[in-house]
Amino acid sequence: MVAQSYANLELPETLEVDRHYYELQQLDQALRYYSDEGYVVIRRLIPDELCDRVRAAFEQEVRRSSTPILRQKNMRYEQNRFTSAGFLENPIFNIQDLHTKTFGAFKSRALDVLTHSRVAEVTEAILGGPVKMVQSMFFEAAAGTWAHQDSYYQDSSAGLGRMAAGWYALEDIDAGAGRFFVCPQSHRRVELVKNEGPNNFASGHERYKEAMAEAIERAQCRIVAPFMGKGDVLFWSSLTAHGSLEGANPAVSRASLTAHYLRASDQMLQFHSRIRHQRTQPRNKMEVALLHDQDSLMNRAISGVSFAFPESVEQVRRLAMWAVIHAKNGVAASARRN
């Protein structure tokens, strides 16, 4: 693991001491800022009651459930784990794939946030046309996510950098809660660390994390962890270096969602190697792409096996990934960085 030590970190404690950023009415200015800096915060984009509804459904359906769920940190099906303060420790990956019968309200309310008409307005303006949501996550405890560019994991088949993402605060996020951070201008100034050679995901993921940390240091980028109030959303590009801080105060949570968006006509490019076709379903103002849909009996059987035999499944997955990454069929070579 790469130790987190960010000498040049800017961590404003409150809204008052942070820069104001923008509101939806200032979308043109916000877009210019996004294009220059590789990220932007839109204040109060999501109504408070929608944030509260997601958290209430989490309490009712998810917190006490023993159903294994796919997790962001290791791509394994795991049961909930909690910190000493009682916050969910293993973030949920791809909320749109959750089993509707078990987690219907949580899934539906989270998707209402992630596909909200205001979100569609911003993401369409960023990406230049109708969009689809292709990935999502839910966090409660600090995650200490390593600095990365999303492009390494997934991007647009139509060109690297053509994916955008949003980080949604469901509560005011304390400076000690493990804030989300970005490196301003890194979408232009930090070289793209490719998913290949010694840094490939299958066998070189730890090396990749080190390579990213070094690339950020070489570019002498600032690191900012903006104040995020309930309903604020931070949007960033798939080439922007970002991550989250280790929690300095275990008594505070960071209830939040993230989602990644592509143009509706683009496909997902995974690991800079293969195009991953996804089935989509309409939701509010956009399509939502599914990957491991737990409403399918077959996918539930697969997740059951993954939960029962995590190590064996992990080995098979790594082998498959190794094969995919090494059998690049020219997809990556044809993908432009733009």
Ligand X SMILES: O=C(O)CCC(=O)C(=O)O
Is residue 11 a contact partner of residue 91, using CB atoms and an 8 Å limit? Answer: no
228 binds ligand X, rule: CB under 6 A: no
Residue nearest to ligand X (CB): 244
Diameter over CA atoms, the chain: 51
Distance, CA of 265 to CA of 186 (rounded, Å):
26
Distance, CA of 302 to CA of 304 (rounded, Å):
5
Among 123, 145, 157, 253, binds ligand X (CB under 6 A): 145
- Map tokens 């130790």 to a residue: 3
258 binds ligand X, rule: CB under 6 A: yes
Is 215 in a helix, a strand, or coil? helix
* Shortest reach from residue 57's CB to ligand X, in Å: 20
Between 3 and 333, CB nearer to ligand X: 3
Could you give the string, one character per residue 164-203, with x where binding to ligand X holds by CB under 6 A and - elsewhere? -x--------------x-----------------------
Size of the site for ligand X (CB under 6 A): 11
- Map tokens 């801080």 to a residue: 245
* Shortest reach from residue 178's CB to ligand X, in Å: 7
User: Taking contact as CB under 6 A, which single stretch among the options 115-123, 219-227, 237-245, 302-310 is the one that binds ligand X?
Assistant: 237-245
Between 98 and 182, CB nearer to ligand X: 182
User: Taking contact as CB under 6 A, which single stretch among the options 35-43, 138-146, 302-310, 317-325 is the one that binds ligand X?
Assistant: 138-146
Residue 308: Cβ within 10 Å count: 11
21 binds ligand X, rule: CB under 6 A: no
Among 139, 168, 208, 271, binds ligand X (CB under 6 A): 139
Distance, CA of 162 to CA of 126 (rounded, Å):
9
Between 68 and 166, CB nearer to ligand X: 166
Between 257 and 335, CB nearer to ligand X: 257
Site for ligand X in 146-165 (CB under 6 A): 150, 165
Among 86, 105, 85, 87, which residue's Cα sits nearest to residue 95? 105
User: Taking contact as CB under 6 A, which single stretch among the options 139-147, 184-192, 217-225, 279-287 is the one that binds ligand X?
Assistant: 139-147
Between 114 and 313, CB nearer to ligand X: 114
213 binds ligand X, rule: CB under 6 A: no
The alpha carbon torsion through 124, 129, 133, 135 (nearest 10 deg) reads -90
* Shortest reach from residue 261's CB to ligand X, in Å: 11
HSE-up of residue 190 (Cα within 13 Å, Cβ side): 33
Q: 168 vs 196, 225, 322, CA distance in Å? A: 31, 14, 33
* Shortest reach from residue 243's CB to ligand X, in Å: 6
H-type alpha helices, the chain: 27-37, 48-57, 100-114, 117-127, 186-189, 205-218, 297-308, 310-326, 331-334
Between 162 and 313, CB nearer to ligand X: 162
The backbone torsions φ and ψ at residue 292, rounded to the nearest 5 degrees and listed phi first, read -130, 50
Distance, CA of 213 to CA of 101 (rounded, Å):
42
Between 39 and 180, CB nearer to ligand X: 180
- Map tokens 């809204």 to a residue: 15
* Shortest reach from residue 278's CB to ligand X, in Å: 17
Among 41, 54, 143, 192, binds ligand X (CB under 6 A): 143
Q: What would the two tokens of residue 229 be?
A: 């109030």
96 binds ligand X, rule: CB under 6 A: no
Instruction: Using CB under 6 A, list all residues that contact ligand X.
Output: 137, 139, 143, 145, 150, 165, 180, 242-244, 258
